[in-house]
Amino acid sequence: MPAVPGTQPRLSETAQHVVRRFTYGYNLRLEADVLRHSGVDAWFESQLARHPDPAADAVLSWFPRLKDTPSRAWANARSEAYSGWQYGDDLVKYSLVRRVVATNQVHEMMVDFWSNLLHIPAGEGLSFPWRLHYDTHAIRPHALGTYRALLRAAVTHPSMSGYLSNHRNTKTLINENLGRELLELYTVGRRAGYSEADVKSSARLLTGFTVAIEKDFGAGYDPALHHVGPVKVMDRTFTNAAADGRAELNAYLDWLAMRPETATRIARRLCVRFISDDPPQSSVDAVQKAYLASGSDIKACLRVLVRDPGFLASKFKKARTPAEDVVATQRACDIVPTGAGKDSHVDAFSWLCSWIGQAPFSWPRPDGSPEQSDTYLSPARLLRSWTTRSWAANAGEKVTKATRPLPRDLVPPVWPLPLKDLVHHQAVMMTGRRATAETVAGVATLLDKPATHVFSAEWERNEGHMTWMLTLIRTAILSAPEAMLR
């Protein structure tokens, strides 16, 4: 019997591990991209460099309302022509499709990571007119840059001012919201020991920014609203002598970004996302050291993390979040959206994220969704995840405004074909690795056939039967415990 092509992994175990952690899921296009490079290290460096990604960029055109100016978006919401919730829903779908189709997978992963750390809910009433701009001008350009630059861009953005009430923060009426979250969530954290007086001082440095909330949402800076005079935060005094306090604010943000406490918090959060829920302290220390030595360079941190012994030893120790699970399933089944709109496939898989437990950009507090895997591992989530995968794995299911392979294109052109080889072929195609012995045995039980059962060429010509069999096999592979692990 001839060897069945496609039943052996083409990527090393290390390469598979890097791909599982730093992308939204395996597919043959991703495998080909890795193999074009001299090794996974070269692929990772190429990902850090970022290249043009026209397929991902083109997705924005599917959601023309997202290009509305802030004033137009507010007018549409006010007249009920298009609500803030609808703008938010478009942003969610746009972001999810990018994760499915993007070639720059590491960048998309880091956009998600920083969007979660510097979280602004999509569709929130005081920030939605500027929310896409926050994504395209604050988060995306800096997701692989420095945290110092990212912090500046995010904290001073009109969407952040609206969400955390900084538009109400003036020299005569201090609003502490953004000043507090800047210290607590975005930089040093509560363990740094700052006081209530420090929070107020932090807020004073943030005065002057304006957003015409519930008018035309025009944004700017008014020196007349800025608090002038010395301000002390923890152990540093800022002279804050100029009416235009933006230069002093930038100095403050840079100082916070480079505090050791900030470096530790960012390092730990990166390690929780990419290593394990309880990462080794040595890994956190290594990333923290790289952060401080590089001036908060995100690429430097990721290079250290991906080579760290703790990372290399963490195979299959992180579960995908519900949203990652849905996107990874789309990629594994090679379902590629081609457009949006009513009853489109984008509508369906966006809804599935919420259904199994995590609607993107919907966390109700500014601290962002938990990064720990165990947050999402309830019995209800697992049951709904299995159902979701069975829908996606249905090789004969038609999709609207999307493409998927035909059933006959999913099987190798080698006959006769043993069941166990077919299982391994499907596993390698969808996950990059062979099925475990338990999965092979499970599929054999599911089909009521021995693993050694041999399919003839006649089976391939009976498309209905073949499609049904493939759906069961692919569902079993995607629902195996290791398939939901990163």
Q: Which residues contact 408 (CB under 8 A, 6 or more apart)?
A: 460, 463, 466
Half-sphere exposure at residue 475, Cβ-oriented, CA atoms within 13 angstroms: 22
Mean pLDDT value of segment 392-402: 93
Phi, psi of 9 (to 5 degrees): -60, 145
Mean pLDDT value of segment 429-452: 96
- pLDDT at 129 exceeding the cut of 60: yes
User: Mean pLDDT across the chain, nearest whole number?
Assistant: 95
Q: What is the largest CA-CA distance in the chain?
A: 84
Mean pLDDT value of segment 462-466: 81
Q: What is the DSSP code string of 207-226? A: TTEEE-TTTT--EEE-GGGS
Confidence of residue 2 (pLDDT cuts 50, 70, 90): low
Check residue 134 and give its pLDDT: 98
Question: What are the pLDDT digits (tens) for 64-91?
Answer: 999 999 999 999 999 999 999 999 999 9
Question: What are the pLDDT digits (tens) for 176-214?
Answer: 999 999 999 999 999 999 999 999 999 999 999 999 999
Check residue 460 and give its pLDDT: 65
- pLDDT at 399 exceeding the cut of 90: yes
Confidence of residue 414 (pLDDT cuts 50, 70, 90): confident
- pLDDT at 315 exceeding the cut of 70: yes
Highest mean pLDDT among 328-337, 375-384, 462-471: 328-337
Residue 478 CA to residue 395 CA, distance in Å, equals 13
Q: What percent of the chain lies above the pLDDT cut of 90?
A: 90
- pLDDT at 459 exceeding the cut of 80: no
Check residue 458 and give its pLDDT: 75
Mean pLDDT value of segment 235-246: 97
Task: Give 485's DSSP letter.
Answer: B
Quickly list H helices, 120-195.
Answer: 131-133, 147-155, 158-163, 177-181
- pLDDT at 463 exceeding the cut of 80: no
Neighbour-count burial for 184-210, b at 16+ CB within 10 Å, e otherwise = bbbbbbeebebeeebbbbbbbbbbbbb
Q: What percent of the chain lies above the pLDDT cut of 70?
A: 99
Confidence of residue 1 (pLDDT cuts 50, 70, 90): low
Confidence of residue 326 (pLDDT cuts 50, 70, 90): very high
Check residue 4 and give its pLDDT: 85
Residue 324 CA to residue 345 CA, distance in Å, equals 17
SS3 annotation, 429-476: HHHCCCCCHHHHHHHHHHHCCCCCCEECHHHHHCHHHHHHHHHHHHHH
Check residue 114 and give its pLDDT: 98
Question: What are the pLDDT digits (tens) for 265-282?
Answer: 999 999 999 999 999 999
Residue 84 CA to residue 70 CA, distance in Å, equals 11
Question: What are the pLDDT digits (tens) for 330-372?
Answer: 999 999 999 999 899 999 989 999 999 998 999 999 999 999 9
Q: Which of 71, 103, 332 is nearest to 214 (CA)?
A: 71
Mean pLDDT value of segment 224-234: 98
Confidence of residue 5 (pLDDT cuts 50, 70, 90): confident
- pLDDT at 225 exceeding the cut of 90: yes
